Amino acid sequence: MRNNIIAVYPGSFCPPTIGHTDVVVRAAAHYDKLIWAIGVNSAKKCFLTVSERLDMLRRIVEELRQEGLNNIEVDSFEGSAIRYAERIEASFILRGLRNTSDLQFELDMATANRGISKKIETVCMFSKPHYATLSSSMVTEIAILGEKIDQYVHPYVARQINKKLGVYRQPSKPPQDDQSEARSSVSINELKQRRESKEPS
Ligand code: ADP
């Protein structure tokens, strides 16, 4: 029997939704340690910086800790999830499944990862039906359109997103982009253009 079984839940979490948190909570019971980790992926643009997302995950995990779930940690990594899992000596990569498109994607990814390391197994957890249509991209689109996102994300996440988008609504005073994280975040101008193109003229 092995002790200290570690699973890593990698993803963009841009933003983290209550569907992600549900996977984390249900999975945490089955491992000694669950690492909820943001993969810094330059190909996948996100309007939240890595620091902002880490802050959101930490806030959620702190709340879970107060509810008695104390085996969840937060981290971020560059490069592939499988190499990260090796580095932290995880035995499992955890992923969530909402539908058959997720299934095909996760199957392909798990197969590719198996080709890299046979020591780490990918395990997938089905989302609860209630969360099966919930995605970070949908939440982002809704928030950009100025609609409420409270039913999809933790209240702190909703506040932070609204705060950030509030800043974007003031074109005369654009905030400075964090250069160190510019690779993984959508530029302010890009976001403003998207908002403007969606606003009825
Ligand atoms: P990605 O890793 O492709 O950037 P996300 O960060 O959105 O995707 O999600 C990370 C993992 O969580 C993926 O396995 C994804 O399928 C899963 N997931 C996303 N949304 C939900 C949800 N609402 N319920 C359950 N699992 C989800």
Whether residue 105 has pLDDT greater than 80:
yes
95 domain-assigned: yes
With a 6 Å cutoff on the Cβ, whether 20 touches ligand 1 is: yes
Angstrom distance (rounded) from CA 21 to CA 157: 12
The tokens for 57 are 């995950």
Q: How confident is the model at residue 151 (pLDDT cuts 50, 70, 90)?
A: very high
With a 6 Å cutoff on the Cβ, whether 17 touches ligand 1 is: yes
With a 6 Å cutoff on the Cβ, whether 128 touches ligand 1 is: no
pLDDT by residue (tens digit) across 106-122?
999 999 999 999 999 99
State residue 45's pLDDT score: 84
Per the structure, the count of domains in the chain is 1
If one counts every other C-beta atom within 10 angstroms of the C-beta of residue 15, the result is 26
Give, using CA atoms, the residue closest to atom 20 of ligand 1.
135
Give, using CA atoms, the residue closest to atom 8 of ligand 1.
11
Expressed in angstroms and rounded, the spacing between residue 23 Cα and the centre of ligand 1 is: 9
12 domain-assigned: yes
With a 6 Å cutoff on the Cβ, whether 135 touches ligand 1 is: yes
147 domain-assigned: yes
State residue 166's pLDDT score: 86
81 domain-assigned: yes
**Which range of residues forms the domain containing residue 42?**
1-171+181-201
pLDDT by residue (tens digit) across 86-98?
999 999 999 999 9
192 domain-assigned: yes
If one counts every other C-beta atom within 10 angstroms of the C-beta of residue 72, the result is 22
pLDDT by residue (tens digit) across 11-34?
999 999 999 999 999 999 999 999
State residue 43's pLDDT score: 78
pLDDT by residue (tens digit) across 44-65?
789 999 999 999 999 999 999 9
CATH number of the structural domain spanning residue 198: 3.40.50.620
The tokens for 172 are 């005369």
With a 6 Å cutoff on the Cβ, whether 16 touches ligand 1 is: no
pLDDT by residue (tens digit) across 155-192?
999 999 999 998 665 554 544 544 445 444 555 556 65
Q: Which atom of ligand 1 is nearest to the CA of 134?
A: 23
State residue 190's pLDDT score: 65
176 domain-assigned: no
Strand-pairing partners, residue 166, are none
Mean pLDDT along residues 136-155: 95
116 domain-assigned: yes
Q: Which atom of ligand 1 is nearest to the CA of 23?
A: 25
With a 6 Å cutoff on the Cβ, whether 102 touches ligand 1 is: yes
Residue position matching structure tokens 């400075």: 176
